[in-house]
Amino acid sequence: MCKTIPRIQLRSFLLSACLLLGCQAQDRSNQPANTTTSLITQDPSSRSNTAEDRDTPRQVYDIDDSTAIESRISEDITFLASDEMQGRGIYTQGLEKSAVYIADEFTKLGLQVDTVNGSPYQVFRTKTGVALGEKNFASLVGPSGKKTKLRLNTHFTPLSLSSSGQFDLALAFAGYAIQSTSDNYDDFSDFDVTGKAVIVLRHEPIQGTNSNRFNGSKNSSHAYLTKKVQTAIANGAAAVILCTDQVAIDKRAARASNPKGNENLDFDSLLNFKVEVNKSSRTVPVLHCRREMVDQLLQAAGKPSLTDLELQIDENVEPQAFALPECRIEGEFSIQETKQELKNVIAVLPGKGPNAEETIVVGAHYDHLGMGGGGSLAPWTVAVHNGADDNASGTTGLMEIARQLVGRLKGDHRRILFIAFSAEEQGLLGSAYYVKQPLVPIDKTVAMFNLDMVGRLREDKLTLYGTGTAKEFPEMVKGAAEKHSLDVSMVSSGYGPSDHASFYGKGVPVFHFFTGYHSDYHRPSDDSDKVNVTGVRRIVQMATDMLLEIATADTRPTAVSSGSILDFYLPTMPSRSNARKRNPSEPELGVTISLLSNADGLRIDKVSKGSTADRGQLKPGDIIREVNGEKVQTVVQLREQIKTIKLGETLPFIIRRGSIDLEFEIKF
């Protein structure tokens, strides 16, 4: 499930709230997708995509024996939440393996798996990037000739800023690799680094002070990794060795005041290999190295430690660059170009009879957080976030529901579309793409069932969102809950931080099955052995009964509208009917926000062309952390800050871009 604000129980938060701050609410009317042509045929005999047509035996499962069902559920969750899947982070081999696993299961069931250009994969984002190859090693050589081998991913990691190839270079210390006329500071003014590998501190001098230099207590543009590397190269450096500064390490330690769930804290943790950069910039070796390894070299050379050097620079804000005679770095890096895709996995159980062209979508997201990062609630822990509950449990439920329906739907019924969504954790990207490019028209989609975090059933308590999105839903839920002895808490809204929201935004009635939060949520400890397998089975059986009822009913569910997403979450926002009457003197930002936890802020999904944000050089992917000196944790707080100014005035924003905090003065 997408990230939430910690300790806030109102989980029906919007995932893509339009924050044009005076904009119109989105139309959720049940409109057909007029640019989409269905790729799915009604009659399976006209296709050669089922198991029977390919002379491949369809897998037959026992769909009645509870022990057999639970055995399958346990096997699926254990696989999807294994370390081998790398936390199913986006653009990882583990996520790709998970997609193949799901597609193979759909194929075994004899479902249509060639509905997207002959494939089960609906690709919605392709990325050409770089990855570490086979040969990546480095050693530091001291003045006595003593060689210290650096262990990959323990002592150092190459960065995607780096070039490939062998190197053997003399070493030098180049401070922060900053040249700034306005700050009267130049690490290269009295020292020639041509042909040398330079040791460079991250960030900048006199951090956290009220000085007018280097943007005072905030990071300036000189703190960018890419700018440091480019500056060093422009001054002749043949390689760059980055070290995290002590101030940053101390800040990390201070933020981790409650170490519960963060047992593997490492405040001098290595940067992730993937630092975004243009291909043309990769001209020299670039690596991130732990301070202790560099300090050992400095001590052997009779030089101050990195901490002492930082203090000397801060004392008078003067550079401390110097050569390290007889000290070298040698090694070899292998950086390979890669092509990576994000994809939804789609399979179809064709309909039969008079309602065969109407569709029910059953979905669950199969991605998670990988090694952690911005979405983790253990932010300083670099470890596999297996995501057994979030959302191996829901993905497993999706596959088991497919097995159940294949075995039970024999007579006339509506089409069932099974979708495993990708990149939900990035802001519902997979489901948002599907509703824009649906395989069947949205006006023919009569309901959507979403399973996200169904692995921790406790005391028979299940939360079911969307019960008010169709007239028939409340009574249906009551009957199913009683049959399966589940204590269901019904939430009427169809909005919330998971993939069902994308469908409800298009007017489709939805259900979202959810067993609640726990201390392992978005942490490395969300492992398969903590999943209540019996609970998953019971929820799957309840959902299957409800699906069977809708699939075989004479009429489709009667959709119920409950207002716009903005009216629901921002009740003081102008409604659609009066949005056009907004006072033109009211300031607008012009961004679309995806909800993140308050440990980070509000991530920008889109920036409207020509808007205040566009003119202020904000970009999609930026995280708004502070406005006017105040932390921003909700869209309401952001809106209230913007309401305090008038057109023509400016507001200071603190923006996290990549791993760097930047300050922007946004003029409205």
Q: Residue 63: its pLDDT value, please?
A: 94
Q: Residue 55: its pLDDT value, please?
A: 47
Amino acid occupying residue 264: N
Question: Kindly report the CA angle at 640 between 634 and 645, in degrees rounded to 5?
Answer: 140
User: What does the alpha-carbon distance between residue 170 and residue 194 come to, in Å, rounded to a whole number?
Assistant: 10
Name the more confident of 431 and 13.
431
User: What does the alpha-carbon distance between residue 533 and residue 542 come to, in Å, rounded to a whole number?
Assistant: 14
CB-based contact 515:455 (threshold 8 Å): yes
Question: Closest Cα to residue 429, out of 340, 521, 343?
Answer: 343
pLDDT-based confidence at 14, cuts 50/70/90?
very low
Strand partners, 125: 342
Task: State yes or no: pLDDT of 23 exceeds 50.
Answer: no
Single pTM value for the model: 0.60
Number of neighbours of residue 441 by Cβ within 10 angstroms: 16
Quick one: DSSP state of residue 398?
H
Q: How many CA atoms lie within 13 A of 490 on its CB side?
A: 16
- For the chain, the average pLDDT equals 84
Ordered alpha helix ranges (H), 182-290: 225-234, 246-255
Number of neighbours of residue 453 by Cβ within 10 angstroms: 27
Residues 6+ apart with CB under 8 A from 586: 21, 22, 643, 647
Please state whether 30 falls in left (phi above 0), alpha (psi between -120 and 50) or beta: beta
Question: Beta strand 461-465 with 510-514: parallel, antiparallel or unpaired?
Answer: antiparallel
Q: Residue 265: its pLDDT value, please?
A: 64
Strand partners, 137: 332
Task: State yes or no: pLDDT of 575 exceeds 50.
Answer: no
Task: State yes or no: pLDDT of 621 exceeds 80.
Answer: no
pLDDT digits (tens, 9 = 90+) for 215-256: 766 778 888 898 999 999 999 999 999 999 999 898 888 876
Distances (CA, A) of 666 to 212, 365, 651: 19, 36, 5
Mean pLDDT (whole number) for 166-173: 97
Question: Closest Cα to residue 363, out of 454, 450, 298?
Answer: 450
pLDDT digits (tens, 9 = 90+) for 98-140: 999 999 999 999 999 999 999 999 999 887 778 899 999 999 9
Task: State yes or no: pLDDT of 56 exceeds 90.
Answer: no
Task: State yes or no: pLDDT of 644 exceeds 90.
Answer: no
Q: If you average pLDDT over each of 35-39, 249-253, 470-474, 497-501, which comes out highest?
A: 470-474
Residues 6+ apart with CB under 8 A from 9: none
CA trace torsion 39, 44, 46, 52 (10° rounding): 130
Q: Residue 500: its pLDDT value, please?
A: 94
Q: Residue 584: its pLDDT value, please?
A: 59
405's tokens: 């329906």
pLDDT digits (tens, 9 = 90+) for 426-480: 889 999 999 999 999 999 999 999 999 999 999 999 999 999 999 999 999 999 9
Task: State yes or no: pLDDT of 328 exceeds 80.
Answer: yes
Q: Residue 620: its pLDDT value, please?
A: 78
Task: State yes or no: pLDDT of 336 exceeds 80.
Answer: yes
Mean pLDDT (whole number) for 586-596: 74
Q: How far does Cα 238 stand from its chain's mean position?
A: 35
| Beta-strand runs (E) in 294-435 | 322-333, 335-349, 359-365, 415-421
Share of the chain above pLDDT 70, in %: 84
Task: State yes or no: pLDDT of 26 exceeds 60.
Answer: no
User: Which residue reads 């939440």 in tokens?
Assistant: 81
| Beta-strand runs (E) in 452-544 | 461-465, 487-491, 510-514
Q: Residue 65: its pLDDT value, please?
A: 96
Name the more confident of 257 and 517.
517
Number of neighbours of residue 263 by Cβ within 10 angstroms: 11
Phi first, then psi: give them for residue 22, nearest 5 degrees. 125, 5
Q: Residue 43: its pLDDT value, please?
A: 40
pLDDT-based confidence at 281, cuts 50/70/90?
low
CB-based contact 204:216 (threshold 8 Å): no
Q: Residue 345: its pLDDT value, please?
A: 98
Residues 6+ apart with CB under 8 A from 100: none
User: What does the alpha-carbon distance between residue 162 and residue 286 come to, in Å, rounded to a whole number?
Assistant: 4
Mean pLDDT (whole number) for 206-213: 80
Distances (CA, A) of 78 to 81, 95, 386: 5, 15, 10
Task: State yes or no: pLDDT of 563 exceeds 90.
Answer: no
Query: 581 by DSSP, 3-state: which?
Result: coil
Share of the chain above pLDDT 90, in %: 59
Question: Closest Cα to residue 551, out of 450, 409, 449?
Answer: 409
Q: Residue 664: its pLDDT value, please?
A: 86
Q: Which H, E and C letters describe 141-191, residue by residue?
A: ECCCCCEEEECECCCEEECCCCCCEEEEEEEEECCCCCEECCCCEECCCCC
Q: Residue 276: its pLDDT value, please?
A: 61
CB-based contact 658:275 (threshold 8 Å): yes
614's tokens: 């566009």
User: What does the alpha-carbon distance between residue 253 and residue 351 come to, in Å, rounded to a whole number?
Assistant: 57
pLDDT-based confidence at 382, cuts 50/70/90?
confident
Task: State yes or no: pLDDT of 577 exceeds 90.
Answer: no
Phi first, then psi: give them for residue 416, nearest 5 degrees. -115, 125
Give the chain's domains with CATH numbers: 50-128+339-552 (3.40.630.10), 135-333 (3.50.30.30), 579-667 (2.30.42.10)
Q: Residue 585: its pLDDT value, please?
A: 64
Q: Residue 29: its pLDDT value, please?
A: 34
H or E segment at 615?
A: helix 612-615
Please state whether 620 falls in left (phi above 0), alpha (psi between -120 and 50) or beta: beta
pLDDT-based confidence at 647, cuts 50/70/90?
confident
Q: Residue 216: its pLDDT value, please?
A: 67
Mean pLDDT (whole number) for 30-58: 42
Q: Residue 258: its pLDDT value, please?
A: 55
CB-based contact 390:108 (threshold 8 Å): no
User: What does the alpha-carbon distance between residue 548 and residue 540 come to, in Å, rounded to a whole number?
Assistant: 12
73's tokens: 């559920």
Query: 76 by DSSP, 3-state: which?
Result: helix
Mean pLDDT (whole number) for 190-208: 93
346's tokens: 């789609």
User: What does the alpha-carbon distance between residue 343 and residue 99 come to, in Å, rounded to a whole number?
Assistant: 8
Question: Kindly report the CA angle at 216 between 200 and 377, in degrees rounded to 5?
Answer: 70
Mean pLDDT (whole number) for 359-383: 89
Query: 626 by DSSP, 3-state: which?
Result: strand
Name the more confident of 349 and 54.
349
User: Which residue reads 């440091």 in tokens?
Assistant: 228
User: Which residue reads 């905030």 in tokens?
Assistant: 218
